[in-house]
Structure 1
């Protein structure tokens, strides 16, 4: 006689699978909600930090477009609880400073703050300190701004084969000549841009020693240290490099307040 099996023997297995599927779906939904909440919290924090950065930049008498802030690290809410953020990047566009009455323009200043300490109450209320362990900044100074600081009529600066190119009209022994050459550009101990014109010539230069002496004297006259405007966040210039779009500036600082604590 053939053996028979209860018709409902497979139901507990099917019911168990349904429970497992339901549990997995529930976990996915909760996980998705957690991710959404995490991203919403990031957006709120970025707006709060951007507002404090805007106030700090204005306090240092530097003008710029509204700061763009991005908070790195995931999950963000864990960083909120710890009051420490792995990385905060800040972009300031159209940065404008002033040196000796001359405007100095940086089309963009990118700031990378690492290991930032900020309590939840500070982000919510704006009261307290937001401090970065390290801050690195990169930006580009327009050549027109740099030429204006040198205060030489008709002076044009640019980049040629990785060096600073110099062109200017110069009067030598009654002749209007166009001088061209290159300069070494470094950072002085005072954090200024140090220029040293080491190769210069002028087409049509009279073949007399005095003409060459006058040309060399002109070159020495612009081989000077050029002060830069105070950069935000206590950034100190460490390196400058001529690029086609301007003079690239690299700066850094340690233990920097990203905001000014309200009193």
Structure 2
């Protein structure tokens, strides 16, 4: 019987060769070559369109960057604004030298004593100056509409060094509440501000109902009217009436006694007898009369008397220097938008107080930027 030689089986196997990857590529080229002409054209168009879209987006980003830099330079901004050019494709708008719509957002715009948290605007009918996206020299805005936000958080940070906070109340009022340091004393401050538009580019605040409380002893209201000045509170006046030494100190000054309406004979008796003093200070009119005394006037002629009433003479001097214009200036929220270049016009519209701050509408026409 014959046996098979295992060596013959190995001899029948073909030798190993590395894989030929070019066969697959040749097959793919063969498949593409086998496509109809219309399909080839569609593929070529898709590739060309993709490159055109990329070129369009690159030109758009470049133009937005250039526009942001020019706005930053011309408006003296601390940071470049955010510029978004709307519409597609962009290059066709460049060829026409007219943009349909441009949105601009500018944060932290300096406006007098305050910073505007955000100025946002949408410009339409924008005519470009320059030969292309890489050579823009400027633009003219046909129409612009937007809004300005004055944030209460920013106001509290910028004007609240004395720990005064601002909150909205109603459509046009802002409350200022907090403390104010005067001559080493922290006084509670309260004021109401009414917000209104001032001219074409400004917002004004009418500060009213200003008062500084010296604990529960007295209240200072800046101004020259009879109800203004430094006056004892009802609690402070009652304390003076109940404290015989303080009441006698008041009655011992003839000018003050006459202001309180106490006859000379009653004054003499009150200074000699506590019972008679109680008759004077216990009358319903006495506390009201003491509250009407302007202690600033009293301090001018009788500084020692005020010290006996428990009031610091240095504090009274500080309050006398804190006139109404000075306090109004410290609490004012007024601002004015910077002037824009060119011959165009820009003006503020409605002013509205909201929870987060003061919002003001803005519109403009024919505003030019660049060369």
TM-score (norm 2): 0.50
Q: Which has the higher helix share?
A: 2
Give 5+ residue unaligned stretches, structure 2. 1-32, 220-232, 235-287, 294-322
- How big is the shift at 1:137? 3.4
| Alignment match of 2:122 (pick from 85, 95, 112) | 112
* 1:127-159 deviation per Cα after TM superposition (whole angstroms, max 9, x unaligned): 4x4100012232322447668999996653222
1:164 maps to 174
Q: Which has the higher strand share?
A: 1
C-alpha distance in 1 between matches for 2:206 and 2:148: 22
Say if 2:61 is the partner of 1:43. yes
| Alignment match of 1:83 (pick from 97, 112, 115) | 97
Q: How many residues align?
A: 230
| Alignment match of 1:34 (pick from 52, 56, 66) | 52
Greater mean alpha carbon deviation, residues 250-259 or residues 226-235: 226-235
- How big is the shift at 1:126? 4.7
TM-score (norm 1): 0.67
C-alpha distance in 2 between matches for 1:124 and 1:76: 13
Say what the alpha-carbon RMSD is for the aligned residues. 4.1
Give 5+ residue unaligned stretches, structure 1. 1-14, 212-216
| Alignment match of 2:363 (pick from 244, 252, 260) | 252
SS of the residue 2:66 aligns to: helix
* 1:198-250 deviation per Cα after TM superposition (whole angstroms, max 9, x unaligned): 77889967355859xxxxx969x849893424255664222332233332232
After superposition, residues 46-57 of structure 1 pair within 5 angstroms as 46-57=64-75
1:158–1:242: 8 Å Cα contact kept in structure 2?
Answer: no
After superposition, residues 127-142 of structure 1 pair within 5 angstroms as 127=137, 129-142=138-151
* 1:28-75 deviation per Cα after TM superposition (whole angstroms, max 9, x unaligned): 2222222112111111211221222122112xxxx3212222111111
Say if 2:80 is the partner of 1:66. yes
